A and B are shown apart, each in its own frame.
Chain A
Amino acid sequence: MKRLLSILFFFLTLPVFAGEPAQSGEAPKAFNAGEVILHHVADSHEWHWFSTDNGNFVSYFPVVAYQPGKGLSVFFSDKIAEGKSYKNFKLDDERLTTLDGSKVYDFSITKNVAALAMSSLVLVLVFASVARGYRRRVGRAPTGLQSFLEPFVVFIRDEVGKKSIGPKYERYMPYLLTVFFFIWFNNLLGLTPGAANLTGNIAVTMMLALLTLVITLFSGNKNYWGHIFAPPGVPWALYIIMVPVELVGIIVKPFSLMVRLFANITAGHIIILSFISLIFIFRSATAGLLSVPFGLFISVLELLVAILQAYIFTLLTAMYIGSAVEDHHETADGAHADDFGTVEQRQGGSNFAHLAQSDVAAH
């Protein structure tokens, strides 16, 4: 079981775009699966809940448009829905543009912004209740929501925080726990019918990755920067190659965090929608015999992916922070212990030493 999970885990960390071939949409008259799927995955200025024969059930949001020189315009998005234009504004493929082509900055409340506000509210309510539980039951066993979430908090603290960051882990626990529960809750909320695909939006994952980058850079100690601008054990003539390479590494790490979360969540949504689209592409109920079980399977898999991706993001964030805050290791003769090829200590993976020092002593 564990092996199966780790194999699964490996594949799920790769970006899967297998859903895309289904986009070709060969239906005789224009069921364009690609368009439908991309529309479902992307952000929009309205919240389309569902459609029946009697019409569309849609919530409209305020559009906030700023035009240089003309100031702000605020109105509801039903005025520009379905190709209509209002006061010089129109939507061009969900992009707010103007009829005369002048520049406009879009600060609208979009579907993702609304979903973000709602899920933040859910997170605040849940964790306020958990915190209240701890205040009320000091030293006693947790109950309810508190007892459900405590194992996750403890897991992130012990397995992610302590092992990856080391003795200074406590400062970073608020960020790690916030990121973990934010991604997890939003992944799950994104799977509910009619919901927004928040963690599958690259702007959202970019902000999360940027926060990780900023926290890593600001907690970087002398040792961390020394390894970047003056790698120990490297002849100075090689600095001209090494320093850019290390600098690229700083950018690439959060970039891969951003792409991984975005790609995994978006790919999952695309695959589910592709399976469901098969029914409409073949226009036959028998296609449902195949596509419904497969769609259900992927949906259940996505429940696992939701927590897995939250865990991976948190773990890699902790590892990057860990590499920035770790102390200078010196061997007995005062030489650097961390030239090429040294096995122990160092970032991530191998911090069994911390386990031996702190955890075993504590339990």
Chain B
Amino acid sequence: MLPPPDPASDPTPSGADRMRAVAKYSGIAFQMLATIGLSAWAGIWLDGHFHTKTPWFTIGLMLLGVLVALYQVIRSLTKSA
């Protein structure tokens, strides 16, 4: 017979829930790093492969990586509180 609990207004989340939130959000941070790192690596590889004079692949993919990482953060924040 509990009313549906609202996590945002729950005054006393248990220790496990707090741990869980910390793990989750630090996980998101790590995911950002991985996204940007992976796209930078892919860009460097592509530049090496095509012998580009100016590293456009690296530049473009890194910027794209930043955008994708931001998108993922926003997504995961709006998905769940």
Contacts and interface: CB of A to CB of B under 8 A. Distances in A.
A260 B16 CA distance: 21
B63 interface: no
B78 A316 contact: no
Contact of A10 (B2, B22, B38): B22
A134 interface: no
Contact of A2 (B6, B10, B15, B39): B15
Nearest to A3: B18
Contacts of B68: 245, 248-249
Interface residues of B, number: 35
B50 interface: no
Interface string B26-41: 1101110111011100
Q: Tell me what chain B mostly uses at the interface: helix, strand, loop, or mixed.
A: helix
Contacts of A200: none
A48 interface: no
A249 B7 contact: no
Contact of B30 (A155, A260, A311, A341): A260
Nearest to B67: A245
B4 A349 contact: no
B24 A255 contact: no
A348 interface: yes
Interface stretch (A20-28, A63-71, A118-126, A350-358): A350-358
B23 A252 contact: no
B4 A353 contact: yes
Interface in B22-75: 22-24, 26-27, 29-31, 33-35, 37-39, 68, 71-72, 75
Contacts of B21: 349
B32 to A, nearest CB: 9
Given A338-B79, A340-B78, A349 B24 contact: yes
Q: Tell me what chain A mostly uses at the interface: helix, strand, loop, or mixed.
A: helix
Given A6-B18, A159-B16, A248-B68, A348 B24 contact: yes
Given A249-B72, A350-B7, A256 B31 contact: yes
Contacts of A163: 20
Nearest to B2: A356
B79 A315 contact: no
A343 interface: yes
B34 A356 contact: no
A349 B29 CA distance: 15
Contact of A348 (B33, B71, B80): B80
Contacts of A79: none
A159 B71 CA distance: 28
A312 B31 CA distance: 13
A312 B5 contact: no
Contacts of A352: 5-7, 10
Nearest to A13: B26
A94 to B, nearest CB: 24
B5 A353 contact: yes
A14 B30 CA distance: 7
Nearest to B71: A245
A9 B30 contact: no
Contacts of B26: 9-10, 13-14
12 contacts: A9-B22, A10-B26, A256-B31, A256-B33, A259-B30, A311-B19, A312-B27, A341-B78, A342-B78, A343-B8, A345-B80, A353-B4
Given A255-B34, A355-B5, 14 more contacts: A2-B18, A14-B26, A14-B29, A248-B35, A252-B38, A253-B31, A256-B34, A316-B24, A343-B8, A343-B81, A348-B24, A349-B80, A350-B7, A352-B7
Interface of B: 2, 4-8, 10, 15-16, 18-24, 26-27, 29-31, 33-35, 37-39, 68, 71-72, 75, 78-81
